[in-house]
Amino acid sequence: MPFPDNEKFARVRVARLWIWPLVGSLGVGLGFVAAGAPPKFLPIAYAAYGFFLLAALWSLRSADIAPAEVFGRPPGDVTVWPTVIMMVPVMFCFAAMSLWATAFAASWIAPDIAQYLLEQQDDDELRQLTQGGSPLLIMFIVVIGPVIEEFVFRGIVLRRWMAKSTLWRGVIGSSIIFAILHPPFWLGALVVGVFLAMLYLVTRSLYAPIAFHAMYNGLVTWATLGASQLTEDQKDQTLAEFRTEWMAETALLIVSGWIVYRVIQRFARVAQQPVP
């Protein structure tokens, strides 16, 4: 196993990780309503993630675990970083094409769901939020979100479930929870979660997963802003027209999926080796 002190993480209680952020975000939202103003995304998001972090720190303290034990040290193997950087566009491509594949399949059996998924490619809310160049929002997307999510999902939930069960149940379970919180990119987020879990297990460090997550979120934000003209051209596209465009997308899905699979497979072999 990659962590010799897993038994300590079996004592971590994870229920508050979901309760505290919910209560905090609801409290801020109700505060806006009580003040006669519409709830605003950024304050609610900051409140939710702030309580997320507090709940995580309290859970570790209750189990007598220092945050430094979760973060580990920066990877000593410099060859990790080229892989991290290379996988950012590859994983972005796979996530985008997995959403396309889901919409393509749904276009034949559930057209309403397909239409909803297609509309998510034109994320007006994110575009409107980021076009103003808000430093607080950019910091939230590229810095705060990745740090807190990796700290919680990989550093705590993954290790807690590994300690209570097995490596793969911890990897898959923590990745499923991570994916549920990132709609509608469930399949892409699930695979991203598995990759990040394996990266954490291989390096025994949160620094590499945080760096990948930050670069990935930055790429998603940049692509969302830069795709405005493309999505404008696609707004009037019918499902019948959408079904005719599949060759390039299928090729990208297969190539990116194969690369992701091979990297995760290689990481899995290393992660399951005994600790020297």
The predicted-structure confidence for 84-126, as pLDDT tens digits, reads as follows 999 999 999 999 899 888 878 777 777 777 666 666 555 545 5
Predicted pLDDT at 252: 94
Cα–Cα distances in Å, from 193 out to 39, 49, 133, 264?
Answer: 30, 18, 28, 11
Going by C-alpha positions, the residue among 182, 189, 183 that lies closest to residue 91 is 189
What pLDDT, on a 0 to 100 scale, did the predictor assign at position 229? 46
Q: How confident is the model at residue 238 (pLDDT cuts 50, 70, 90)?
A: low
Q: Indicate if the pLDDT at residue 217 is higher than 50.
A: yes
Q: For 119-144, what is the mean pLDDT?
A: 66
Write down the pLDDT at residue 170: 93
Confidence check: pLDDT of 276 > 90? no
Counting beta carbons within 10 angstroms of the beta carbon of residue 72, is it exposed (0 to 12), middle (13 to 18) or buried (19 or more)?
A: middle
User: What mean pLDDT do residues 6-14 have?
Assistant: 84
**Residue closest to 200 by CA, chosen among 211, 184, 185, 189:** 211
Q: Of 24-33, 50-59, 193-202, 235-244, where does mean pLDDT reach its minimum?
A: 235-244
Average pLDDT over residues 184-202: 93
Most confidently modeled range among 135-139, 207-211, 271-275: 207-211
**Residue 194: pLDDT over 90:** yes
- The neighbour count for residue 144, using CB atoms within 10 Å, is 17
3-class DSSP assignment, residue 190: helix
CA nearest neighbour of 29 among 14, 20, 40:
40
Among all chains, which residue has been given the structure tokens 């309290």? Answer: 58
- Following CA atoms 251, 254, 259, 260 in sequence, which dihedral angle do they give, to the nearest 10 degrees? 130
Q: List Cβ neighbours of 145 (8 Å cut-off, separation of 6 or more).
A: 49, 213, 217
- 169 vs 162: CA distance, rounded Å: 7
256 has a pLDDT exceeding 90: yes
- CA pair distance 56, 157, nearest whole angstrom: 10
Per mean pLDDT, which of 132-141, 235-244, 252-261 is the most reliable? Answer: 252-261
From 57-61, 91-95, 145-149, 245-249, the region with the lowest mean pLDDT: 245-249
Distant-in-sequence, close-in-space partners of 128: CB < 8 Å, separation ≥ 6: none
Residue with the bigger pLDDT between 76 and 93: it is 93
- Chain mean pLDDT for the chain: 84
- The number of CA neighbours under 13 Å toward the Cβ of 44 is 14
Percentage of the chain beyond pLDDT 70 is 82
Alpha carbons 166 and 197: distance in angstroms, whole number: 13
Question: Which pLDDT does position 249 carry in this prediction?
Answer: 87
pLDDT at 156: 94
Where are the chain's structural domains? 73-271
